[in-house]
Chain A
Amino acid sequence: MGKDQGMLPWKEVPFGVYIMEPGNSAQFKTGNWRSLRPELDKEKCVKCGTCYIMCPDMCYDQQDEEGYYLVNLFYCKGCGICAAVCPKGAITMVVEEV
């Protein structure tokens, strides 16, 4: 999981707002854009990996020891695609409580 480096004070903003290292978007937290969170029902899940394939932000990038796909909430924006495409209806979008 990355560390959020987006909240800099103005004196630390890089020259010209350049991104000096390519690929550093991995460090940018998008999880706080989310209003709905995917929840997995392991009773229904068959570990097919459709969520992993279809997630536009590649949030299902890890599996636990039993092989279930884990959502990375640092990046997950709560778009709900995983829940919509899950062939077993194992993923439910629930309201994110603040």
Chain B
Amino acid sequence: MGKRIAKEVSIAIADAVKLARAEVIAAYPITPQTHIVEHLSELVANGELDAEYITVESEHSAISAALGAVATGARTFTSTSAQGLALMHEILFIAPALRLPVVMVVANRALSAPISIWNDHSDIMAERDIGWIQMWAENGQEAVDLVIQAFRIAEDRNVMFPTIVNIDGFTLSHVIEPVELPDQEEVDAFLPPFRPKYKLDPRKPLTMGPVGVPEIYFEAKRAQDEAFRSARRVINRIWKDWAKRFGREYNAVETYRMEDAEVALMILGSMAETAMTAVDKMREAGKKVGLIRLRLWRPFPVQEFRKAVAGLPVLAVIDRALCIGGVGGPLGTEVRAALYAAARRPRVVNFIAGLGGRDITVEDFEEMADRAAFYRKKRPKEAYEYIGVREV
């Protein structure tokens, strides 16, 4: 087992990519992802990582080069943020349809305008339906673990889908945390070399990406959706294997102090750390508050989520992104949809918070829990409410 050392999370992620023995890295630097790819380029330049580092002129090219590389059977990594992710948009849909398992870390950042380099989830929520497996890291250790797991999940022959690990920009990417990097031998034992069944090889030609005429396009998308949903079983199996080898458990839905909870906060990513402090504080004050964190966002873990909220009266769903003109935040609307068919469901109260780098404090979480508790008896008037915006 590796030693616990203090490391900037971005550097630890780059080290995790090295431990995974990535063979091709194609990336374009953008704040707050920069340190990840900068460190990877150093590792390659210093001969510490035997990989091809493709410098490209844009994120559109980065993802395109990455797909070409993974199609030839090379383990491939890329990373981006915000505008860079948006520039990748059209290629992002192609990766899963062609079953090309590239791994990408998205350091989540607000989309312009106004120009913002700071954290929220608007970049990835705009790419919600691209068909990639999507996970959220809560802290540095989890970011490292998820990156290594992501290669194994994506490249499993029963999965073969690209995978995104989301880390909150700055609040995760730029902090120094105690992180335990596994030993190379341990990672090698967990993560076998990438051996796809089909790849681009002149000795055995095949065509990837032919036109899908109306006679086949619909059937192709139906098959893609089914294959994607069935990846759930493999993800769970790989997480069990990880827990056995490394002693850290991973689940699609994580819960904290949910026993007898009357109100639960529901969040994604690094907000969980502050939210847990808030839950502890409220529990000490006798308030029955718990926390639900979605680690796996795509494919959406409907059953586990419904189980986590079973018997719960009120669920406060906190969105760090806005669906302008919609009926809630992206997580809020999805949660409502996932619960609509459930026999018993909590009242869902949706909050929009922390846009463009605005901190969400312990006090903010307390306020959201209190407001949610108030709505236990009284239906909220609005589809969602704002937290942390100056009114006067």
Contacts and interface: CB of A to CB of B under 8 A. Distances in A.
B222 A15 contact: no
B215 A10 contact: no
A17 interface: yes
Interface of A: 6-11, 13, 15-22
B205 A8 contact: no
The DSSP consensus for interface residues of chain A is loop
B197 A18 contact: no
A22 B206 contact: yes
Given A10-B219, A22-B205, A22-B207, A15 B212 contact: no
B216 interface: yes
Interface in B246-270: none
Task: Kindly list the 5 A-B residue pairs having the minimum CB-CB distance in the complex, ordered from nearest.
Answer: A19-B207, A16-B99, A10-B219, A10-B222, A13-B223
Contacts of B226: 10
A18 B207 contact: yes
27 contacts: A6-B213, A6-B216, A7-B215, A8-B219, A9-B219, A10-B218, A10-B219, A10-B220, A10-B222, A13-B216, A13-B220, A13-B223, A15-B197, A15-B198, A16-B160, A16-B208, A17-B98, A17-B210, A17-B212, A17-B216, A17-B220, A18-B198, A19-B206, A19-B207, A20-B198, A22-B205, A22-B206
Given A10-B218, A15-B197, 8 more contacts: A6-B216, A10-B220, A10-B226, A11-B223, A13-B220, A13-B222, A16-B198, A17-B209
B239 to A, nearest CB: 25
Nearest to B210: A19
Nearest to A28: B213
B97 interface: yes
A16 B199 CA distance: 11
Contacts of B100: 16
B219 A13 contact: yes
A16 B98 contact: yes
Nearest to B216: A6
Nearest to B209: A17
Contacts of B97: 16-17
Interface in B198-250: 198, 205-210, 212-213, 215-216, 218-220, 222-223, 226
A60 to B, nearest CB: 24
Nearest to A8: B219
Contacts of A11: 223
A17 to B, nearest CB: 5
